Structure 1
Amino acid sequence: MNLIITLIGIKFIIFLILNYILPNILIMGSRDQDFKKKYGKWALVTGSSSGIGKSISHRLASQGISLILVAKDDQYFNEMVNEIKNKYKSNINLKFLSIKLDLTKPESVKELILKLKEFESNKILKINEIRILFNNVGYVTMEGFNQTSYDNDKLKMIQCNTLTSVQLTDYFYRIWIENKININNDDYKKNGVIIFTSSIGAILPTPFSVIYSSCKSFLSNFATSLSLEAKSNDIDILAVQPGRVDTHIFDKLPNLLALKFLKLMSQKPDDVVDIMFRAAGRYGIVIFNSGLFAQLSCLFSNLFGINLTNNIVYLISKYILTDYSQYRKINK
């Protein structure tokens, strides 16, 4: 019996070291990679108006990378575009192109690609030079599954959180494979990089946010599977799964006790972006859980399994976080 307990303990320690301790040590001990030197001089960032997308854009611009900024037409986007142009106006080689699109709409990616082709025909850029893609855009509502119509917020979340990323990945991935970088003659080391902003909801069951967490689960699995093919094409893939991040995406959500609790362990957008710039194409990392809540949630789920985790989340939601009961009153 003692031997069995010892072996279980050793296995647990090895599990913690390989899956949690070592990856965190590697990332914390690393510096930002030079994306311009590694991938190229152009990047496209969706959901770039605020939060993580805004932080990504500033980090790229600070490395001398020209940007195609994509977001819906609102005050945050207009302010962000003006801010980044003014901050880096001394660098005459930097270009900032903004495309105002609502990426919750089915035809939005086609419109985006047409706009890129228009830029190319006007000799503003070459699409083949866009080698950095941040699939960052997100859209979330928080209510019961039966409280929104399929044609409304459900489809918007599926389009924005899943299909938009797949469509853009498909478009650029094909271009990069057809026009591979020649490492003997070109300045760059890799054919490209695709980084996804996922969520710990991809792992942790999330009541009253069923479609959002399901979309993020798809996104993380999509990134993981695609990375196996992408390696042979010198394309780096990374999905970051944060917990609560201080962004505007949560502004319209109800002020629940659960969200207040998560805010105590929330991250700044820069914390998530640090991981993106340090982990992409390094250490064999394809999925990284960002923040204390995300790390603990993943550890709990791995230790106790999805069925027990699911039941515990249910009990917490029903008996401890009693303000969830307000969802029964919404839209009735």
Structure 2
Amino acid sequence: MTHGKVFRKLGFWTIGAIYFLILVGGIVRATGSGMGCPDWPKCFGSWVPPTDISQLPSNYKEIYGEKLKGEIEFNAVKTWIEYINRLVGVAIGFLVFGTFVSAFVSFRKQDKTIVLLSLLATILVAFEGWLGSKVVSSELHPVMITLHMILSVIIVFVLLYAVARSYNYVIEIEDIADKSSLSFLVSAAIFLTIGQVLLGTQVREIVDQVANSMGEALRTEWVANLGGKFQMHAFFSIVIVIINLFIYYRIKKSVENKGLLTTFANWLVIIIGIELLSGLSLAYLGFPRLMQPIHLTLGTLAIGVQFVIFLFLNKERVFRSIASK
């Protein structure tokens, strides 16, 4: 099934690209470049943004000043960081559409669910682009930013489900004892991790407020002024580490022959471990800018791996229409 192989490869590339976009979006946020392009879909009224202030009209401060949140001086670095973020988003749109075309060619007769899931991902990506314009027009409203990120996770879920279904044709997923309780545990881990990521976005807002009030000179003291939400975020990080380690232990204990399920369990522990280290570095090293987008990306990546494990644990229900053919 050559076309199915193409679909799976393209699906993985697309999912990887979405995670890369989440990383780039985190860089946009960490560098304060969200309003680097104050208009949409153009940037400073042009499809290719300026690289120097001389390329802007003399009255650009009056035109864009209100949307730049007081930073009315043109900053080429921030402008291009935001512009690259948009270009990556456009590229992902083409990738997702290509995934849909590949799914249609490969599975329109064998499994229409894969085709419909790929079509849904294409529609959601288009909606995500529209939502991105609303993030700009709302001047980076926290609720819009959070919705934008949640939709990215949903798109990843849809694509992971489609790719996982396609694998049922070519590879066996190992069986595991007492799947129902483990499946419930993984579901709880998914919801907890999503909640933790959303709580992290709120903590990020508080960090911005503390940074503005205390300044860069007191960066190492920011953490002491973040309040209850940060402490709650820290507490739940411990809970999430424990629950994921227990998932890993249960899978390793219950599976004799290694396969996809154990591979993803290994990756889950690795990702959660690095995520914990990145969180500790943020808390104790004065919130290094580069670590902020890495921390966010690792959190969403962990959710994706948890979701794949959930799909494999529930393969009889997930792939029911395939088994009946």
Same fold (TM over 0.5): no
Q: Into which bin does the TM-score normalised by the smaller protein fall? A: under 0.3
More strand by share: 1
TM-score for both structures, normalised by structure 1? 0.25
More helix by share: 2
Larger Rg: 2
TM-score for both structures, normalised by structure 2? 0.25
